[in-house]
A and B are shown apart, each in its own frame.
Chain A
Amino acid sequence: MMRFLLLFSRQGKLRLQKWFTPMSEREKKKIIRDMTTMVLSRQPRSCNFLHWKDLKIIYKRYASLYFCLAIENQENELLALEVIHRYVELLDKYFGNVCELDIIFNFEKAYFILDEFLMGGEIQETSKQIVNRCIESSDMLQETMEEYMSKPAF
């Protein structure tokens, strides 16, 4: 399973943190520090995988943002890279040419999109169409919800 996903900028500013197992705030801060220093110090064109404690760290840079995903030892590294890519695609589709600022100002959306895609550290839905449909319909929902709720569900 995946253990955590971190998004941080080239300056090491954390933009998104998702923890799939319970962890104390202290542990989280330590991991965030470790990850940013480790990943940011990597040379360009190095491989995207690192061993860290008993986990594998998969990272990739998209424009100014680093995506850093920790997976358990027996998990598939290449596919983890594509988990990151699929998430980037989903963000891109939603925001339209996504940039770091979108994620800063709409952090809650970035979390919602991630929640549609991953759950409990496992992939929930790999179809881009379905995830996008969910996100968009939830945006639509706000307007229609009141009306919707006044009707019985069945």
Chain B
Amino acid sequence: MPAVSKGDGMRGLAVFISDIRNCKSKEAEIKRINKELANIRSKFKGDKALDGYSKKKYVCKLLFIFLLGHDIDFGHMEAVNLLSSNKYTEKQIGYLFISVLVNSNSDLIRLINNAIKNDLNSRNPTFMNLALHCIANVGSREMAEAFASEIPRILVAGDTMDSVKQSAALCLLRLNRTSPDLVPMGEWTARVVHLLNDQHLGVVTAATSLITTLAQKSPDDFKTSISLAVARLSRIVTSACIDLQDYTYYFVAAPWLSVKLLRLLQCYPPPEDAALRSRLTECLETILNKAQEPPKSKKVQHSNAKNAVLFEAISLIIHHDSEPTLLVRACNQLGQFLQHRETNLRYLALESMCTLASSEFSHEAVKTHIETVINALKTERDVSVRQRAVDLLYAMCDRSNAKQIVAEMLSYLETADYSIREEIVLKVAILAEKYAVDYTWYVDTILNLIRIAGDYVSEEVWYRVIQIVINRDDVQGYAAKTVFEALHAPACHENLVKVGGYILGEFGNLIAGDSRSSPLVQFNLLHSKFHLCSVPTRALLLSAYIKFINLFPEVKATIQDVLRSDSQLRNADVELQQRAVEYLRLSCIASTDILATVLEEMPPFPERESSILAKLKKKKGPGNLPDIDDSRRNVNGNTEHHEPTETTNKSPPSLMADLLPTNRPRPASSSPIMLSAGTMGSSHPFTDLLNLNSPPAAAPSLLVDVFSDLSAPASVEVSEDNFSRFVCKNNGVLYENQLLQIGLKSEYRQNLGRMYVFYGNKTSTQFLSFSSSVTNGDALKGQLIVHAKSVDPVIDGGAQVQQILNMECVSDFTDAPVLNIQFRYGGALQNIAVKLPVMLNKFFQPTEMTSQDFFQRWKQLGAPQQEVQKIFKSQHPMDTDVTKAKILGFGVALLDGVDPNPANFVGAGVIHTKDTQVGCLLRLEPNTQAEMYRLTLRTSRDSVSQRLCDLLSEQF
């Protein structure tokens, strides 16, 4: 036990801690703790009133036990009692206990708030500080409600002590973060800004933190802080260190305050006032100059503090992005750090340069450091530094250096740490695609990726290469040749087999003229890999084989033999077996013409944002990914890479060929039931045999299964009845009467949707002349395109047929299309019209975001017509989980921890239409006592806000 026992040693506590430390095992420790807990409990319950000291000691012991990781379920009341003690240390322990073990027990909070109120009114600065600390530590909504109006008053009152001002400023900052709605701006805001002029640097530091946060939320209200901050900064930067007394840290003048002021200035664009602007430039130049001066101390604290200010100044320079000379100087400074002996500085230099690379003024200057960065990739011992080097290479990449950077990344990949391989693979794939001048290089690069790091090549990456090869006919022959050669490697990765199978299946004919890659050789090569592959790959290969039968009639017999073998026809895997059976059958019965139509070459994929990029963004979070799509591209004249997008857009994407193109050239698990539909003379033959549209696994007899998620409702006459049930879900029974049941399964991706409509004949008699079509009302025309496939005119008794509807959302819409069904049952003509549940929210993509982003966007969408609010009575029991499921089913992401009130629900998403994307934020506030909800929607379009609000408010 150490000798230290300053102030108020608690002997009993020290003994207890010693005991715990001496415990030989976890069991012994638990035993000792339980003994102590029993002891404390009996003391607290005992008849004898405890004196303050004992109470403090026991509360402190409980705290210690809690911090060891054990649960504490009593003692809160005793801690609250300590708050009203006159003895400072007792009060202090009470507050510490409360701060650490926040309890949402509302009775207790009221008592705590009472004690806080007394201390705030005590005019004793020490007590006031304790109380303010407690509010900041707990920061609960009840506390914010109780004190949010009081604290600004304390902050700006003339007679408040400096230390209390500091606490009040930070306490207010904390409340503003947790419950911004409770901290309204007022006349105090102007006076807060003037704290930047305060004599006491501690007050200025705390106030700057507060002002920065407030200014981020409402920049206009705090504009006056710019000039004050510049003036203050200028005084610090030019001061002789001695002026600032204890605020000089290792010979650096007020580093914390300097950094905070520089941060505050980053909330604003460069000052408009010329004099102010030049004064700021002067400050920044001085900071850059100081970096070149010899250090005033050898201590690392000196260089850290100095460089902290320097890096923050560079951040401001990058943020302003307006002074070319400063940007280039910043870049040169960072260039020096790239070779500094301190690992920390190398790391930070790499990180800062990433943002510099996206400025048009400094992009070229950053590029000059490419060799150093590549060297860092090869020689740095620390993986996190190497990771930053990869990031920087990615950020500085453009058309001029793409080949070099991609080559370096590929060679680094061979030895890279496992933890970052996947990310590097994604980056290489993106750069290769983005800066590909000739696509042979792109194909080579991706095949290299698979060769070097096949395990880390995700589906997105190999899907993408196939999409690109299919969309660009100039590279197809080369791709076929290259994969053919790559497949010769003795141990090639399964991903390569997938790419190879797909590409040869489509374009093997382009190289079949060469006897070394004749059809049979190609087939044998692929088939030699077959038995080493997993089921999805085998399924893919089977599809490639049937494509071969169409491309090369000469190998038909060989392939049929393979399909016919027991290992295929009787494969234990139902998917493989089914493919083998159907493909074999198809190859036997279909004429050459039909085969050629069914197995036609894939049409081009519609161009979208690369799914790889989306994946990388998801992995890194939007903030961490240097945006290589920004303005600087224009500066470098790299506009050519729009070209592929344009060319593919010219041929309108076929909805049928690939409705969900971003991620699925071929869903491996789909079963080829649809094949027959394609061959039966539908006007749109399925060109994409391999992308079999993931039909539901239900065979016609599975009527019950398809609908099992809903108990069939009673027969209804009004065909709109079930409409609103589909707002938050995609599958279920849409309509049912004595004769017919209509079930739905639907899926949506971005602005496209596909709906499978199942018509079940409930009778034992055939339905004849069955037809169904979709009509759009006038308003809906042009907003939503629905394309219905034809459906079999006969439905046998007890059977079910399926119809596919493809949909495209062009712009936001309110009405719903109508499904018209006609058929003959026992001579009588039946007519049914059902409102199809296609609503605007189906085209939602959920968006995860941080609370900060959420509130920033919330604020941006603050125009009166953008917000729609509805207060309504709940129609169902108010169950949190059900509500959550409904909101998720509605299509938005549910954001946890955004709303200060945990009972509220907050969501975000983007509505995708062909014309535009509409960002949507929603907030649902239940009031369980009144059984009411308040729903608020904010979107960039008033019509969307209104429609979404109408749809969702019906659901609760």
Contact = CB atoms under 8 A, between A and B. Distances in A.
Nearest to A118: B170
Interface string A71-102: 00110111101100110000000111001011
B850 interface: yes
A53 B346 CA distance: 22
Contacts of A76: 259, 308, 311-312
Given A78-B308, A79-B308, A123-B256, A46 B92 contact: no
A124 B166 contact: yes
B384 A46 contact: yes
Contacts of A94: 6
B133 interface: yes
B505 to A, nearest CB: 42
Interface stretch (B121-129, B233-241, B473-481, B941-949): B121-129
Given A112-B92, A141-B88, A96 B624 contact: no
Interface stretch (B61-69, B494-502, B574-582, B861-869): B61-69
Contacts of B89: 138, 141-142
Contact of B307 (A14, A78, A111): A78
A125 interface: yes
B121 to A, nearest CB: 10
A134 interface: yes
B205 A123 contact: yes
A134 B346 CA distance: 38
A67 B723 CA distance: 58
B313 to A, nearest CB: 11
Contacts of A154: 123
Contacts of B173: 120, 122
Contacts of B346: 47
B454 interface: no
Given A77-B348, A121-B174, A126 B256 contact: yes
B69 to A, nearest CB: 7
A105 B136 CA distance: 26
Contacts of B245: 127
A105 B245 CA distance: 34
Interface string A10-37: 0000100100001000000100000000
A31 to B, nearest CB: 13
A49 B384 contact: yes
A78 B60 contact: no
A78 B305 contact: yes
Interface string B1-28: 1101011100000100100010000000
Interface residues of A, number: 63
B256 to A, nearest CB: 5
A153 B343 contact: no
Given A120-B170, A127-B247, A141-B88, A78 B4 contact: no
Contacts of B17: 104-105
A129 B255 CA distance: 16
A137 B867 CA distance: 53
Contacts of B249: 82, 86, 126
Nearest to A145: B88
B323 interface: no
A85 B7 CA distance: 25
Interface string B63-79: 11001010000000000
Contacts of A115: 133
Contact of B621 (A48, A54, A96, A137): A54
A73 B852 CA distance: 12
A36 to B, nearest CB: 13
A154 B121 CA distance: 12
Interface in B63-118: 63-64, 67, 69, 86-89, 92-93, 96, 100, 102
Interface of A: 1, 14, 17, 22, 29, 43, 45-51, 54, 73-74, 76-79, 81-82, 85-86, 94-96, 99, 101-102, 104-109, 111-112, 115, 119-130, 134, 137-142, 145-146, 149, 153-154
25 contacts: A14-B69, A22-B139, A29-B69, A45-B381, A47-B385, A51-B624, A76-B259, A77-B308, A79-B308, A104-B17, A105-B1, A107-B64, A108-B63, A108-B93, A111-B100, A112-B92, A120-B171, A123-B206, A124-B170, A126-B201, A130-B246, A137-B126, A138-B92, A149-B86, A153-B124
